Amino acid sequence: MQTENRPAFEDALRALRLDHRNVALPGLALTWLSIAALLLAPHWLGPAHLVWILPLMGIAQYKLVISGHEAVHKTLCWPERLNEAAGVLGQAMVGVNFTAYRLQHLDHHKARSLDEDPDGHIYGTVIRTAAGWRRFAVLTLGTLVELVIKIRQKGTGGFGNREQHPPAIQRRKLRDSLLVVAAQLSLIALSWWSLGVFWAYAVLWIAPLFTVAVFLNRCRIVVEHGLAHQVAGALPGGLAGFGGPRIPTVDIVPPAAEAWLFAPYLFHYHCCHHLYMSVPHYNLPALRALLKQHQISGYHEVEGSYLTALARCVHGPTWPAKVTAPR
């Protein structure tokens, strides 16, 4: 920390952490209603409308996926019981064991290197590939490999975490696994009724989830952590000077349309989140201003949009990224 006024910073930070408001509930309700409407739409409109239903379904599923991240940190909504219910049920819909996800994701925050990071398989394989068309191929086609690892980490008990856990946690993991099964059986029945064919679940639910939703999430992670590794390696001090004793990450400040698509719940303030992960998502813009005001070391922001950031990731150091940080 470079600020000389630490008490003022700590007081402001505490206020941001303790500001509990249910800002996310309208958007979360809209996501659930959108998913329900899109599942029912083929029954009323016919299969010809799948051409626009499936992309919209993938986007809605992605927003449900990201809501789980906020629930993992207990900042999605209040009281805590509502937060946990929204997390468990929402992630069961997308095939994720919520308790396993929480364990895996907290390991992600504890990681000090790419190799320690349980999410490292997503961005690490991209940035370790030769820049250019090969890296682009890994970014796009690597989605299939990522799916296999995700199912192992989050779908059946949490192999992404590195510790054995007490019986209470094991029971919650079992509960969440059963809820995943129940949710998928319900989706199979509803999809079959809506589209009128037994393979409707594969078309209406699995196809958009495994393509649109997973790929949006993959692109986001590659930018927030992969690009951070890339630009850190080109700066004085390298990774050590960029991120300190943790995996590096960056903030992106994209246009509103890209923020809506790639970064629900203000996810583009990802460096802010990694520095102070207990601050609710709706206070991350205020946290960003606070970090800049007090010149907090470790804060980094990449100029440009998600699409330009992805281009930088693919092209490597031949397409430099402008990084701002406290001086």
**pLDDT digit string (tens) for the chain, length 327 residues:** 455 578 899 999 999 999 999 999 999 999 999 999 999 999 999 999 999 999 999 999 999 999 999 999 999 999 999 999 999 999 999 999 999 999 999 999 999 888 899 998 889 889 889 999 999 999 988 877 777 776 666 555 444 444 577 889 999 999 999 999 999 999 999 999 999 999 999 999 999 999 999 999 999 999 999 888 887 766 655 566 565 557 889 999 899 999 999 999 999 999 999 999 999 999 999 999 999 999 888 888 888 889 999 998 888 765 555 666 654
Which amino acid is located at 313 in the chain? C
Cβ 180 vs Cβ 96: under 8 Å: yes
Nearest to 86 by CA among 76, 97, 95: 76
Cβ 61 vs Cβ 208: under 8 Å: yes
**Quick one: pLDDT at residue 10?**
95
- Cα 93 to its chain centre, rounded Å, is 16
Structural domain including 203 reads 6-324
**Quick one: pLDDT at residue 145?**
72
Total count of residues recorded for the chain:
327
Instruction: Give me the phi and psi of 324, to 5 degrees please.
Output: -110, 145
- Cα separation, 278 vs 260, in Å, equals 22
In DSSP terms, which residues pair with 301 in a beta bridge?
251, 324
Q: What is the Rg, in whole angstroms, of the alpha carbon atoms belonging to the chain?
A: 20
- Cα separation, 108 vs 117, in Å, equals 5
Cβ 61 vs Cβ 212: under 8 Å: yes
Total structural domains within the chain: 1
**CB-count exposure of residue 170 (10 Å: 0-12, 13-18, 19+):** middle
Instruction: Give CA separation, 325 vs 113, 127, 277, 278, 300, in Å.
Output: 21, 22, 19, 22, 5
- Cα separation, 286 vs 11, in Å, equals 13
**Quick one: pLDDT at residue 162?**
46
Residue 232: inside a domain:
yes
Residue 1: inside a domain:
no
Residue 144: inside a domain:
yes
**Quick one: pLDDT at residue 304?**
83
Residue 80: inside a domain:
yes
For the chain, the distance separating the N- and C-terminal CA atoms, rounded to the nearest angstrom, is: 11
Residue 132: inside a domain:
yes
Non-local CB neighbours of 49 within 8 Å, separated by 6+ positions:
41, 42
Cβ 184 vs Cβ 209: under 8 Å: no
Residue 243: inside a domain:
yes
Question: Number of helices and strands (H, E) in the chain?
Answer: 18, 3
Residue 260: inside a domain:
yes
Q: Fill in the DSSP letter of residue 256.
A: H
